[in-house]
Amino acid sequence: MVLKQVNPREFKWMDSILPGVTKLFSGKVVLYDDESKKVFLASKGVYNVLSKLHIPVEWIGVFFAEVGEEIKFGFYVAEKYSKFGKKRVVVTKFGEEKFLYRRNLTKKYISSFSNDISKGDIVVVTNKFNEALGFGKAMFSSEEGIKEGTLVKNILDRGFFVKH
């Protein structure tokens, strides 16, 4: 893997998936690997030290996303984005447990949601304390409201780290 520094504007398109997510680039060096299609964020100090060593690096800073047919944001993004982002689904206590066990969310596990969600959107799933649990794919829109069936498909959850 060869990480190269890229201009953060190259990834501005990510804001169309999670509005304002590229705010997380502020003060960081954005690194990208063409082969794995992974994006990392590192502090300028860490990047400066490693770039002077001229050694191959497979991981630096925090994993931000993997860019493929669908973008897969890392948990760092969920944690930071939950503090300022929109497109949020808040789950009940039991919903939190279900989501962390890789389950999809149904009506009975959702306590509230933001009013800017469209079907197919990536949403941040949080508990009532605004702690990020991960990302899901909305199977409903805010305008329609929530009905029966799967409403949020689990994409990435904090429980992943415990299970692997």
| CA distances for 164 relative to 45, 100, 137, 157, 160, angstroms | 31, 13, 22, 12, 6
Residues 65 and 95 in one domain: no
% of the chain surpassing 90 pLDDT: 65
The pLDDT-based confidence of 37 (bands split at 50, 70, 90) is very high
Residues 159 and 92 in one domain: yes
Q: Would you say residue 155 has pLDDT above 90?
A: yes
The domain total for the chain is 2
Domain enclosing residue 109, as ranges:
84-163
Contacts of 7 (CB under 8 A, 6+ apart): 30
- Residue where one domain finishes, among candidates 48, 73, 98: 73
Has residue 106 been placed in a domain? Answer: yes
Provide mean pLDDT across the span 79-84.
88
The pLDDT-based confidence of 164 (bands split at 50, 70, 90) is very low
Global pTM? 0.82
Residues 49-73 have pLDDT tens digits of: 877 887 777 778 899 999 998 899 9
Q: Residue 94: its pLDDT value, please?
A: 96
Residues 67 and 93 in one domain: no
